[in-house]
């Protein structure tokens, strides 16, 4: 736990982990409040202009216990995998708590996944049960024959459910009590699949301690949460580490109400309405979503906001969005960093003076982060390398599910490698260049795409942009950018040239994009990260085609 009033140096130097011998996420996030403050509100459900629905800890405990008993009767027990494919909402939290009570393993899945992605994750995890809604069940129905381990399907949203499935509403209709199975910090609790930006998704298995490991990072970028009046919200899907472990579970742990918004597609005006209507004080908003919010004209005059903190992570925030937060939101956006395997290990905290445009921040108390070379040696300050985290660390994954080779290859000695290129200065600030695969090599220079993208995001015509390296016989690679323009602005050769010069004059001659492509949308993961490998593949195909045409 971090306490306000201390300097960063005092907090980092004086921090030590004291994990209990027994720990269970459901007990920590639900049962203890249900026993002491059953009427305390833990969740609000956004309902447009209407007043939000409320869920108390007492009601959550009763429904989760009823579901845990039902799952137990269905044969689900310790270590069994239970997939949860639901939008943000009360039912999602009920299922998570029930799974943790059973010492089973939650496998969160995004509803936006297509059938192939769902089938891959269910088969890979060996899930024995799944809880989903009617839209998820429709996808599931078409792939069920390829899922021999899946025995129990529970559908939320209505009492009348498809034949061969169970009704979540009926299973949880009679609240009860369930003591839960004993668990230790290392007992498996959840399997979160990596986003697949650089290859096939892998199931990162985490123990119950993963929640404890997240708490210092959450407190750091939300400036010593909990503070009276705090209310948390994120548009990030709770199926991902960012939504689940940066917001939902820490909010429940700290007794801070969490706002649930089931919409699957981000909309900037709606986001501002949610912040205003639900009196959100603390938000985690990914950089891509923040850039979309920048397109809303004069939000300070249109919405009554009472934000205390905004955190952002998942990809580089960039200087321009950082400065927009100060100008428009009236606060400093605190950036943070981590991966599905080891999340929230770097962060900013403006309240402690740990903030700098263009940098993620510093190591969160309790975590040892360094920049290493390919041999695992720490590099001097100012020299680029790979971001790495030292083990043991309570936020670190236990293993990749049934993939020991991939687990071993994730480490060099006691350093968990991230595949992310960065640099640390003499004060301990870390700047993020991008995935190692994303770094562009052009005429002997190593160029991070983030700086180019950030520069383009400052142009009034640009909504979002992504930079990749396109194979080039002379330069090795040349910088190509894919640009989505703001509504109402048309693409033209003149605008493309303007954007090239915009970057060239603001950064350097070797970083400017030699090619600009205007597109309607960029390929994004369900967490809002740009899938640059798809753009690199597109650029490489263009280069091959151009080379063939040149030969002919």
Task: Give tens-digit pLDDT for 408-430.
Answer: 999 999 999 998 889 999 999 99
36 contact partners, CB below 8 Å, separation of at least 6: none
pLDDT band at 3 (very low <50, low <70, confident <90, very high): confident
293 phi and psi angles, rounded to 5 deg = -70, -25
- Which of helix, strand or coil describes residue 487? coil
Q: Is the pLDDT of residue 183 over 60?
A: yes
**116-144: b (≥16 Cβ within 10 Å) or e:** ebbbbbbebbbbbbbbbbeebbebbeebe
**Are 298 and 474 a contacting pair, CB within 8 Å?**
no
CA distance 439 to 469: 8
What's the pTM? 0.85
H or E stretch including 138? helix 134-141
CATH topology match: 22-207 vs 222-435? yes
pLDDT of residue 318: 84
Between CA 231 and CA 275 the distance in angstroms is 10
**Would you state the pLDDT for residue 178?**
95
Domain boundaries, the chain: 22-207, 222-435, 439-551
SS3 293: helix
Distance between CA atoms of 515 and 359, rounded to whole angstroms? 27
CATH architecture of 439-551: 2-Layer Sandwich (3.30)
Q: What is the CATH topology of the domain spanning 222-435? A: Rossmann fold (3.40.50)
The rounded distance, in Å, linking the Cα atoms of 54 and 35 is 18
pLDDT-derived band at 532 (thresholds 50, 70, 90) equals confident
**pLDDT tens digits, one per residue of 495-529:** 999 999 998 887 777 788 999 999 999 988 766 77
Q: Where are the strands (E) in 113-239, listed by range? A: 129-132, 152-155, 166-167, 188-193, 203-207, 232-233
- Measure the CA–CA gap between 366 and 216, rounded to whole angstroms: 8
What is the pLDDT, as a whole number, of residue 441? 72
Higher pLDDT, 291 or 95: 95
Share of the chain above pLDDT 70, in %: 96
Question: Each residue of 477-489: pLDDT tens digit?
Answer: 899 999 999 999 9
Q: Within a 13 Å sphere around the CA of 268, how many CA atoms are in the beta-carbon half? A: 17
Q: Which residue has the higher pLDDT, 11 or 196?
A: 11
Of residues 457 and 154, which shows the higher confidence score? 154
Strand blocks (E) in 185-321: 188-193, 203-207, 232-233, 258-260, 282-284, 309-312
Helices (H), 278-325: 287-293, 299-302, 319-324
pLDDT digits (tens, 9 = 90+) for 270-318: 999 999 999 999 999 988 889 889 989 899 899 999 999 999 998 788 8
Mean pLDDT across 1-14: 90
372-400: per-residue pLDDT in tens? 999 999 999 999 999 999 999 999 999 99
Q: Is the dihedral of CA 9, 13, 14, 15 positive or negative?
A: positive
Task: Give percent helix, percent strand, percent coil of the chain, each to the nearest 5.
Answer: 35, 25, 40
What is residue 137's three-state secondary structure? helix
**Does residue 198 carry a pLDDT above 70?**
no
Q: C-alpha dihedral over 432, 435, 440, 444, to 10 degrees?
A: 70
Among candidates 65, 133, 119, which has minimal Cα distance to 94?
Answer: 65
Q: With a cut of 90, say whether residue 326 has pLDDT above it.
A: yes
Higher pLDDT, 329 or 547: 329
Which residues fall within 8 angstroms of residue 398, CB to CB, at 6 or more apart? Answer: 186, 188, 205, 206, 207
Asked if 417 and 411 count as a contact pair (C-beta separation under 8 A), the reply is yes
Contact call for residues 304 and 312 (beta carbons, < 8 A): no
d(CA 525, CA 8): 34
Q: Is 529:314 a contact under the CB 8 Å cutoff?
A: yes
Note if the bond before 226 is cis, omega within 30 degrees: yes
Q: Which residues pair with 480 in a beta bridge?
A: 468, 515
Q: How far apart are CA 43 and CA 258, in angstroms?
A: 5
Percent of residues, the chain, with pLDDT higher than 90: 76
Q: What is the CATH number of domain 22-207?
A: 3.40.50.12780
Mean pLDDT of 134-150: 92
Q: What is the pLDDT of residue 180?
A: 93
Q: Mean pLDDT lowest for which of 26-30, 246-250, 449-453?
A: 449-453
């Amino acid at each position: 736990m971090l306490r306000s009033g201390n300097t960063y140096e005092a907090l980092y130097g004086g921090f030590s982990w004291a994990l209990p011998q027994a720990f269970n996420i459901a007990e920590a996030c639900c049962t203890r409040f249900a026993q002491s403050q059953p009427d305390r509100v833990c969740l609000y459900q956004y309902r447009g202009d209407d007043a939000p629905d409320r869920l108390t800890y007492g009601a959550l405990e009763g429904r989760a216990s009823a579901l845990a008993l039902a799952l137990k009767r269905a044969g689900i027990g310790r270590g069994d995998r239970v997939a949860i494919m639901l939008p943000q909402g009360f039912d999602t939290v009920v299922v998570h708590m029930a799974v943790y009570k059973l010492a089973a393993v939650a496998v969160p899945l995004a509803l936006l996944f297509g059938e192939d992605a769902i089938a891959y994750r269910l088969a890979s995890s060996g899930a024995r049960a799944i809880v989903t809604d009617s839209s998820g069940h429709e996808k599931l129905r078409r792939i069920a024959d390829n899922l021999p381990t899946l025995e129990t399907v529970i559908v939320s949203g209505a009492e009348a459910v498809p034949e061969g499935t169970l009704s979540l509403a009926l299973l949880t209709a009679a609240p009860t009590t369930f003591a839960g199975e004993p668990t230790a910090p290392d007992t498996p609790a959840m399997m979160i699949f990596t986003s697949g930006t650089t290859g096939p998704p892998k199931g990162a298995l985490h123990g119950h301690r993963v929640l404890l490991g997240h708490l210092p990072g959450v407190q750091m970028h939300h400036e010593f949460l909990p503070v009276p009046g705090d209310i948390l919200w994120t548009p990030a899907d709770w199926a991902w580490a960012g939504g689940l472990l940066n917001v939902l579970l820490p909010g429940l742990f700290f007794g801070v109400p969490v706002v649930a918004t089931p919409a699957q597609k981000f909309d900037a005006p709606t986001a501002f309405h949610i912040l205003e209507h639900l009196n959100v004080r603390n938000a985690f908003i990914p950089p891509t979503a923040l850039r979309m919010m920048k397109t809303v004209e004069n939000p300070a005059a249109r919405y009554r906001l009472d934000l205390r903190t905004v955190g952002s992570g998942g990809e580089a925030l960039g200087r321009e969005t950082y400065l927009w937060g100060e100008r428009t939101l009236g606060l400093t956006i605190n950036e943070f960093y981590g991966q599905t395997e080891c999340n929230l290990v770097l962060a900013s905290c403006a309240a402690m003076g740990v903030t700098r445009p263009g940098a993620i921040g510093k190591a969160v108390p309790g975590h040892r982060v360094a920049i290493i070379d390919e041999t695992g040696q720490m590099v001097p300050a100012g020299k680029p390398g790979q971001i790495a985290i030292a083990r043991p660390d309570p936020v670190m994954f236990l293993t990749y599910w049934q993939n020991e080779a991939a687990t071993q290859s994730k480490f060099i000695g006691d350093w968990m490698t991230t595949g992310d290129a960065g640099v640390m200065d003499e004060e301990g600030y870390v700047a993020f260049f991008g995935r190692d695969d994303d770094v562009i090599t052009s005429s002997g220079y190593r160029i991070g795409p983030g700086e180019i993208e950030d520069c383009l995001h400052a142009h009034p015509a640009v909504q979002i942009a992504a930079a990749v390296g396109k194979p080039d016989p002379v330069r090795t690679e040349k910088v190509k950018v894919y640009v989505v323009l703001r509504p109402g602005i048309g693409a033209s050769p003149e605008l493309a040239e303007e954007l090239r010069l915009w970057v060239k004059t603001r950064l350097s001659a070797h970083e400017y994009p030699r090619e600009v492509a205007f597109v309607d949308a960029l390929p994004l993961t369900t967490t809002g990260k740009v899938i640059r490998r798809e753009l690199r593949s597109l650029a490489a195909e263009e280069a091959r085609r151009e080379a063939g045409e040149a030969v002919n």
